[in-house]
Structure formats: structure tokens, C-alpha cells
Amino acid sequence: MKMTIGEIVKAIDASIDDQTDKALQTEVVGVCFDTRKLTPGQLFIPLNGSHDGHDFIDKAIQGGAAATLWGRDHADRLPLEIPALVVDDPLTAFQKLSRYYLTKINPRVIAVTGSNGKTTTKDMIASVLSDEFNVTKTYDNFNNEIGVPYTILQMDSNTDFLVVEMGMDRPGQLDFLSKLVQPDVAIITMIGEAHIEFFGTRDKIADTKMEITHGLKADGYFIYDGDEPLLVERAKQVDFAKMTFGRSKTDDVYATETSDGQYDTSFKVNLWPEQKITIPMMGDYNVNNALAAIAVGKLFQIPQIEIVRKLSKFDLTKNRTEWLTGKNGEKILSDVYNSNPTAAREVLSAFSRTPVSGRRIVVLGDMLELGLKSPQMHASLAKEINSNEIAMVYLIGEDMKALYEKLKPVFAPENLHYYRADQLDQLSEDLRKELQADDEVMLKASHGLHLENVVTRLTA
């Protein structure tokens, strides 16, 4: 993003005391709401979270901020060292600025949501499009009311496609995000139990996921899992061009001849029956994510050879089914960014089939936001943990007690371990002592458990 302060003032209808040409013509080269990451020339966005962002203005000035948004309710302590753009609410102004910039650059927008697979699908789509077009994609999981505007404002001026991931934890969130970006293509990867604490049923989750179509352009495409009855039923109610993906011959894009490897997965697709496609991820469940990316490639006329090549080597966001090597030489499957029952079952199933000369060891942390049925959902994972395939199990978090109790009759005490959520250090130390070069260890949990810290301890 490159805009003058004067252009920003007009775009968000801000007031500014310094009306000099020098101030208004000053160029801003990005936005930042975290002073620890701010670089010179950026616009500081003082957001309210656990702290009031306005309290960090001195650090923003020291870091070289070119200007700052400033809440009108903080006008009694207006900074004097840099231009302050006074607005009613910095977050709303930030979102308004992103909409202005999106309209200015005018890329085609692909929006992706789903209970599982949205980050992987986003990465795959961006890769498929990247040879033919200039593509910007959501960084990491910046997928909420702050992350989506931030992603937009990171676009280069020559961006042809914006591939934006959209998260959801309450009704109305996707409605807002979809209307903000006004996508050309809206994609729902699948309906699972993620955030079921807030919605109660998968039906209500499906209703809320459909909000992604609320901002879809009239000539846009809706791409969805054609094997999910909840989506098939709701897709009939929206008047957009549609494409489906899945495993049924009734889908527009469907997979055949799927085969799992330890580090990759291969399959064929109805569009090119003789073509073998390989993605650098284990797990049959990732094939559907690739099918969604293939549907996008087909829609925008990407050549077959390019789609196949780009899927074979796309850049996967960190901590999503990522294979690493530990300090003891063990193989580590890090899938610690998020977790829910559907995702956990899929990864456990795939991991249980990997070839290994030593032991398979599983580390599972709490799956958050599952509501009153959380203990039962955690305990249900026992069906995917076979003691003939998994040698040891390490569990951490309050809700994982239910799985611990379920597995007690199956595993010897020395092979089944439980930790409180605040015992990450102890878990890390015990794993470091236990793991050997021939072992494989899988780690999965919701991000709130911070198992990424355990991965760091095992690899650093």
C-alpha cells in the first residue's frame, strides 16, 4: 500500500489539524497495529484489545510511523510529533480504508471459509494462480475483522487476485467480511464441528457459513463441497453460478484413485482422467482442498500442466500438517494451529498409517469451543487411537481428561500421559527424553493450548 496522508484523510473522512501540503503529501507505505512490528513510514492503527492501542503511540513514533489514526474520544491527548487522523473509531476507519484500497486496486477476489481446510485451500489456490497472475493471499491466519483489512492493505498495486481466508466464530461475521471484500468467488470447504459451542448444531454452522455469499458479486461463482447435504440444500437458495467438488460423480470436479504417502498424497481427477496429481501433504482429507483449487484454476482457465505443477509444490502455511525433524532425529508432524473433532480424526487416521521403523507417538491438546458436549467429543477420538498402531499417547488440557479416561483400559500406564494446560514445559521435557531417532510424533491442538511452543522445544 502506498497512499498520501491526504488521500487517506479523504478515503476515511478523517479530520486532521495539520493541513499543510507537506503533511498531506507525505506518503504512507503500509499499516501496522503492533508497534513491535512497525517499520518506518507506516500508518499506526491504535486498536483496542487487552490494551488500548492509543497508549502505544510513543513507541509508534519512535518506530518511525508516518502518521496515526486517532480516536475522537482520545482527542484530549492528541500526538503532536506526527499527523493524527481523527476518526470516530480507528477499527471502523481501518476497515473503511481497506475497502477504499480494494476498490482502487480492483483485483478479482476469492474468499475461502470452512470448518477445516480453509488455510490449506487458500494456499493451494494462490499457488495455482501465481504463474499466470500477481497474487496476494492472507498471511498466516489473518482471517477476521482485523486480519482481512490488513491483508487487503498489504496488496501491491499490481495485484490481479486477492485470495482471502475468512474465519467465523459468531453469526454475522462472515456477512460483514463478505460484504467488505465483495468476492468474485466464494468457497466453503466443508461443514464440521468447529465453534459448535456458539452455534449448537451443524445446521446452524452451515447457515452461518453461507453468509460468505452475502457479498458475492452478481456474476460471481459459489464453489462448495457437493457431497455435504447441508451445503447442497442451502446452495439451491442462492442465485449464483455454482461449481461443486468432492468424491461423487455428480460433482463438477471429483477425485478418483486416491493414495496416501507419508509426506504426500496422490489422486486423479475426472477433468483429466489419466493425469496423476500429487500434493506435498499427507492425508486423503487434503484432496478435497486441492479439488477446490482445481475448480478455481479451471474457472480462470489456468492450463492443466500449470495446475498440476503448482499443486505439487505449493507453500503451506506453517504448522499445518508440517513434517519437521526433532533434535533427537525423530520425525515430527506439526499440526498445532487449530483443532476440532473432524480435523483431529482425519490427522490421526492418516498418521496411524504412516510407515515407521520406530514408534508412533501422539500428542493431543484440547479442542476449544465445543460447548457442553466437549468431553464426549474429546472422548470420541479414542476410536482413532489404536494401540497396535500408536505406541504412546500424551494428552494436555482440561477437556482431554475425558479421552485420558477412555484410553486408560487400552494403554499401559507408562504409555499414557496426562498434563494440565499449564504444564507445557513438563510435557516438552518428557518428550525430549522419550523420543528417539526412529520415532514419529504427531502434535495437534487448538491454538489456545500453544503446542507450537512444544514443537519449538523439540526442534530448536
Q: What DSSP assignment string belongs to 334-395? A: EE-S---HHHHHHHHHHHTTS--SS-EEEEEE---S-GGGHHHHHHGGGGG--TTT--EEEE
Query: Can you give the pLDDT at residue 194?
Result: 64
The answer on whether 120 is annotated among ligand-binding residues is yes
CATH class of 322-459: alpha beta
The DSSP bridge pattern shows strands 108-113 and 161-165 to be parallel
206-243 pLDDT, tens per residue?
Answer: 999 999 999 999 999 999 999 999 999 999 999 999 99
Buried b (16+ CB within 10 A) or exposed e, 309-319: ebbeebebbeb
Q: Residue 95: pLDDT band by 50, 70, 90 thresholds? A: very high
In this prediction, residues 307-318 reach a mean pLDDT of 91
What is the domain partition of the chain in residue ranges? 3-88, 106-311, 322-459
Query: Can you give the pLDDT at residue 20?
Result: 85
- C-alpha grid cell, residue 323: 513434517
CB 160 within 8 A of CB 133: yes
The answer on whether 283 is annotated among ligand-binding residues is no
In this prediction, residues 451-460 reach a mean pLDDT of 94
Q: Please state which architecture CATH assigns to domain 106-311.
A: 3-Layer(aba) Sandwich (3.40)
Which CATH number is 3-88 given? Answer: 3.40.1390.10
End-to-end CA distance of the chain: 35
The answer on whether 127 is annotated among ligand-binding residues is no
In this prediction, residues 314-342 reach a mean pLDDT of 88
**Residue holding cell 467480511?**
177
Which stretch of 120-124, 137-141, 426-430, 442-446 has the lowest confidence by average pLDDT?
137-141
Amino acid at residue number 169: D
Task: Output the DSSP codes for 234-261.
Answer: HHTTS-SEEEEEESSTTSSEEEEEEEE-
Distance CA 268, CA 275 (A): 6
Distance CA 237, CA 346 (A): 31
Instruction: Give which of 251, 95, 241 is closest to 173, Cα–Cα.
Output: 95
Buried b (16+ CB within 10 A) or exposed e, 218-257: eebbbbbbbbbebbbebbeeeebeebbbbbeeebbbbbee
14-23: long-range contacts (C-beta < 8 A, 24 or more apart)? 14/69, 14/85, 14/86, 14/87, 14/93, 15/85, 15/86, 15/87, 16/83, 16/84, 16/85, 16/86, 17/78, 17/83, 17/84, 18/83, 23/83
The answer on whether 114 is annotated among ligand-binding residues is yes
Q: What residues does 334 pair with on adjacent strands?
A: 322, 443
252-300 pLDDT, tens per residue?
Answer: 999 999 998 888 999 999 999 999 999 999 889 999 999 999 999 999 9
Task: Output the DSSP codes for 188-228.
Answer: E----STTHHHHSSHHHHHHHHGGGGTT--TT-EEEEETT-
158-188 pLDDT, tens per residue?
Answer: 999 999 999 988 899 999 999 999 999 999 9
In this prediction, residues 113-119 reach a mean pLDDT of 91
Q: Residue 201: pLDDT band by 50, 70, 90 thresholds? A: confident
Distance CA 252, CA 222 (A): 12
The answer on whether 117 is annotated among ligand-binding residues is yes
CB 84 within 8 A of CB 60: no
**Alpha-carbon torsion 219, 133, 176, 319, what sign?**
positive
